């Protein structure tokens, strides 16, 4: 195949909006000619490039839409440092609970890796084709309150439910207003048996009535815990331990 036909192929792929095939075509078609590939083999290779590129783009888009706080993945997770039993960690990493629309509640003292573990699990969900939405409890309350001003709360909840996994982080750190408690209830109620919720808290859900009105707490916990895996973290703050050992910063030159 001469340069001119290759250029024509590239132009056609641009018109057809097949960007990954277009990017690979010049080199791949030249290789196909030099190695005398069968036409079907060259076509298969081009289609594989397009599929791979689209899948990678989809992962990037889902990761951006999720709103993860730091971008940490299992690449930087040390399961031996966590107080969560390693068999439990490995079982949760299968993500079978997500496919079954079950919930995950990680509760324990501050600094024991709750948020970190939820984020790396969330990143794994994205890599496996799931949509994830990440909220702090405060952010969730602000979102629902903002939509309440023009009576579009139901629409906002439906948008949140587009995710397969809804992460709600940092329950128990700050005082919870009635509006925020209602926002948590509405999300948990809408997701019940339809979506997976992953939640981190300084308190066990049995103590949520210490944070919010008892009626709302009871209704929320009833739905949250019906199909939930509860994981307890313990021990000293990992951050404080690292800081005390001089691992919290890079030494100055």
Does residue 251 lie in a domain region?
no
Same domain, 213 and 156: yes
Same domain, 35 and 113: no
Same domain, 32 and 131: no
- What is the distance between the alpha carbons of residues 221 and 206, in angstroms, rounded to a whole number? 7
Residues paired with 167 in a beta bridge: 134, 198
Does residue 111 lie in a domain region?
yes
How many alpha carbons lie under 13 Å from residue 49 in its C-beta half-sphere? 18
Instruction: Give residue 94's Cα distance to chain centre.
Output: 14
Strand order in the sheet with 228-232: 132-136, 165-171, 196-201, 103-107, 228-232
Does residue 237 lie in a domain region?
yes
Same domain, 88 and 181: yes
Same domain, 140 and 200: yes
Report whether pLDDT(38) > 60: yes
Higher pLDDT pick, 170 / 68:
68
Confidence of residue 235 (pLDDT cuts 50, 70, 90): confident
Report whether pLDDT(148) > 80: no
- What is the distance between the alpha carbons of residues 32 and 53, in angstroms, rounded to a whole number? 20
Same domain, 53 and 81: no
pTM of the model: 0.83
Same domain, 111 and 212: yes
Does residue 79 lie in a domain region?
yes
Confidence of residue 243 (pLDDT cuts 50, 70, 90): low
The boundaries of the domain holding residue 128 are 74-243
Does residue 253 lie in a domain region?
no
> For residue 230, what is the domain's CATH number?
3.40.50.300
Report whether pLDDT(248) > 80: no
- What is the distance between the alpha carbons of residues 39 and 44, in angstroms, rounded to a whole number? 9
Average pLDDT rounded to a whole number, residues 46-74: 93
The count of structural domains within the chain is 2
Same domain, 20 and 82: no
Q: Which of 46, 66, 86 is the last residue of a domain?
A: 66
Same domain, 9 and 88: no
């Amino acid at each position: 195949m001469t340069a001119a036909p290759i250029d024509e192929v590239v132009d056609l792929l641009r018109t057809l909006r097949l960007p990954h095939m277009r990017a690979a075509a010049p080199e791949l078609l030249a290789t196909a000619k030099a190695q005398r590939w069968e036409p079907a083999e060259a076509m298969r290779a081009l289609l594989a490039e397009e599929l791979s590129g689209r899948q990678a783009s989809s992962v990037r888009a889902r990761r951006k839409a999720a709103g993860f706080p730091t971008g940490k993945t299992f690449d930087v997770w040390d399961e031996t440092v966590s107080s969560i039993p390693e068999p439990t960690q490995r079982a949760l990493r299968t993500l079978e609970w997500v496919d079954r629309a079950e919930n995950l509640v990680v509760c324990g003292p501050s600094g024991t890796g709750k948020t970190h573990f939820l984020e790396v699990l969330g990143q794994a969900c994205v890599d496996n084709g799931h949509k994830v939405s990440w909220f702090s409890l405060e952010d969730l309350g602000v979102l629902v309150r903002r939509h309440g001003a023009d009576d579009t709360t139901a629409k906002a909840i439906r948008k949140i439910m587009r995710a397969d996994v809804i992460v709600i982080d940092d329950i128990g750190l700050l005082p919870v207003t009635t509006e925020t408690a209602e926002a948590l209830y509405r999300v948990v109620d809408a997701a019940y048996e339809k979506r997976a919720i992953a939640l981190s808290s300084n308190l066990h859900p049995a103590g949520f009535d210490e944070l919010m009105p008892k009626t709302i707490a009871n209704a929320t916990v009833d739905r949250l815990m019906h199909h939930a895996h509860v994981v307890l973290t313990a021990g000293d703050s990992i951050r404080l331990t690292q800081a005390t050992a001089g691992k919290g910063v890079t030494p100055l030159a």
